[in-house]
Amino acid sequence: MSLFPFLAALAPLILLAVAASALARPGPRPGALPRQAELAALAALALIGIAAIHAALTGPQALSIGQGVALVSLRLDAVSFTMALLVGFVGWVVIRYSRRYMDGEPREGAFHGLTLAVLALVLVLVQAGSLPVLLAAFIGVGIGLRQLLLFYRNRPEARRAAAKFSLVWGVGDLALFGAAMLLWISFETADLAQISALAATGLDLSARIAVGLLVLAALLKTAAFPLHGWLTEVMEAPTPVSALLHAGIINAGGVLLIRLADLVQASPGAMAALVMAGGITALFGAVVMLTQSAVKTALAWSTVAQMGFMLLQCGLGLWPLALLHIVAHSLYKAHAFLSSGGAVRAVAAARKPGPVAVPGLRAVGRSFMAALVLYAAMAWVFAALGAPKNPQALALGAMLIFGVAYLVAQGLADSAPAALTRRMVTASGAAALAYFGFHALASLAWGAHLPATPQAGALEWALIVLAVLSFGLVAFAQALFPLWAHHPAAAGLRVHLANGLYLNAILDRLIGGFRRSDATQATGEA
């Protein structure tokens, strides 16, 4: 057996070893420990990089111990080494940032230990090759992240957010456990690669129920609507925790779906559920995000929207694009959270723009038509070059171009200067070009390792039309917002949206979150 799979398995072990040392010195200023934590993360990234290069050149590698329901397996293939490299890189950046950010904190050593332990478990999760390893990694990540969310235990808001996270994540673990048992009954193997291969022969009743539970687990772990509230309330944890959560751990549900893509795609009902849940979550998160004034809270709602869009991509069978979305979102969101402290100063120092051109109904209509015509031209060019041209990919691109049309509307307003119009049209063309270009690159990188997009039947076509119309209507209403923003009804709607339509408050009431926080605060004051 090649030694390279051992290198990938050694990476989390190094992190766990240093984590144990850190947890033994949980207090402030723990000597050289922060430097050791950073070096451990860098060493783990280097080991994963070496193993990934070997796997890319020679093919998938696996390291397995045991058999049956006790199978412990790590697998290094195109999907897992992409995610392992991403997790290793983001983890190293977060730990390096934490050296200064956490310097002098009363529980500085404990923070470094917990962060390294969670990072090690996420690395195991993305490389899992068997059901027991996958389930154990999910449970371990949940336990470790809860401790990080409770880093400031004296804050009632932190305890409430951790309680809601544990509830949602724990139910997801139960759903995943049930799916694992049913998959063992159906396929009599715990190996993820074998399960994916056997799914092509068809699914019995147990397997179909298992897929439904897998989808439920993925929805819960990606903070999908309506149980998204915990993700928007974790701001009481240190900023590095927010970066690690939003740039890494929140992707776990998507990794679960992509790892078992062949199995999930064998169930049309599961795919339809992903399209509907993902689309609703994306639209809801995006609209609420626009009403937020706090930087980190707006970023949290952005994550909700982005995870919904990723689930939508999975439901459409655009697996390479979903994986690309995870990679791009992780890098962007890690940078956004770690640089959020200087965002207010940057905005205040920026040169204030002149009067904003407010587009009328006719200008908005022209902008949407121009964006769609430009998108259709790009689609025709790439189709002529042999790029994918399935309806799911074209529909997803149309949803993206609707967002660009909002910018184009500013350039086509009657009072807009010609320079602004040119810039907006150029931005629209660049977005369409980037979409098809990145789609081609994602298909080239991961297309051979993931199932092909299924043929669209009647149900798929109905969902595609519904999704495109929904995204188009929301973008159209957003473009017209300046025309009715001063209406009293708009002010009231903004308040309701800023509070997430109070869905999170309802969950608080159901689990007694407000009562526990009030009682704790009253006790402290007494």
Write the DSSP string, 480-502.
THHHHTTSHHHHHHHHHHHTGGG
Each residue of 10-67: pLDDT tens digit? 999 999 999 998 888 888 877 888 899 999 999 999 999 998 888 888 888 888 888 8
Give the lowest-confidence range in 162-176, 238-252, 344-358, 372-386. 344-358
Q: What is the 3-state secondary structure (H, E, C) of 233-282?
A: HHHHCCHHHHHHHHHCHHHHHHHHHHHCHHHHHCCHHHHHHHHHHHHHHH
Q: Is the pLDDT of residue 315 over 90?
A: yes
The pLDDT value given to residue 523: 37
Q: What is the pLDDT of residue 349?
A: 60
Percent of the chain whose pLDDT exceeds 90: 38
Q: What is the pTM of this model?
A: 0.89
Instruction: Name residue, tokens 């993700």.
Output: 231
**What is residue 69's predicted lDDT score, i.e. its pLDDT?**
85
- Mean pLDDT, residues 294-301 taken together: 83
Element (H, E) at 76: strand 72-76
pLDDT of residue 459: 87
Question: Is residue 350 over pLDDT 90?
Answer: no
Judged against a pLDDT cut of 90, whether residue 493 lies above it is answered with no
Q: Give the highest mean pLDDT range of 43-52, 381-390, 422-431.
A: 43-52
pLDDT of residue 127: 93
Q: Provide the pLDDT for residue 136.
A: 95
- Higher local confidence (pLDDT), 521 or 291: 291
Least confident of 116-120, 281-285, 395-399, 514-518: 514-518
Task: Report whether pLDDT(473) > 50.
Answer: yes
What confidence score (pLDDT) does residue 326 get? 94
Mean pLDDT of 314-343: 87
pLDDT (0 to 100) of residue 516: 47
pLDDT at 514 over 50: no
Q: Which of 211, 327, 217 is nearest to 265 (CA)?
A: 211
- Cα–Cα dist 310/312, whole Å: 5
What's the pLDDT at 351? 53
By the 10 Å C-beta count (0-12 exposed, 13-18 middle, 19+ buried), 225 is classed as buried
| Nearby residues of 420 by Cβ (< 8 Å), 6 or more positions away | 357, 410, 411
DSSP lists the bridge partners of residue 72 as 65
Which of 209, 195, 183, 191 is CA-nearest to residue 133?
Answer: 191
Per residue, the 3-state secondary structure of 302-360, as one string, reads HHHHHHHHHHHHHHCCCHHHHHHHHHHHHHHHHHHHHCHHHHHHHHHHCCCCCCCCCCC
1-5, 52-56, 243-247, 461-465: which is most confident: 461-465
Distance in angstroms (rounded) separating the CA atoms of residues 64 and 360: 63
* Residues near 501 by beta carbon (within 8 Å), at least 6 away in sequence: 288
pLDDT, the chain, mean: 84
Amino acid 432: pLDDT: 77
- The residues that bridge with 74 in the sheet, in sequence order, are 63, 128
Share of the chain above pLDDT 70, in %: 89
CB count in 10 Å sphere of residue 468: 18
Rounded Cα distance, 316 and 257, in Å: 12
C-alpha distances out from residue 23 to 56, 97, 166, Å: 36, 19, 22
pLDDT reported for residue 517: 45
Q: Give CA–CA dist 305/253, Å, rounded.
A: 14
169-173, 244-248, 438-442, 504-508: lowest mean pLDDT where? 504-508
Q: Six-digit token pair at 417?
A: 């200067």
Reported as a pLDDT band with limits 50, 70 and 90, residue 519 is very low
Q: Which two tokens stand for residue 292?
A: 């937020």
Note the pLDDT tens digit of each residue in 184-214.
999 999 999 999 999 988 899 999 999 999 9
Least confident of 228-232, 294-298, 478-482: 478-482
CA distances from 377 to 145, 199, 431 (A): 46, 38, 13
Does the structure show a pLDDT above 50 at 422?
Answer: yes
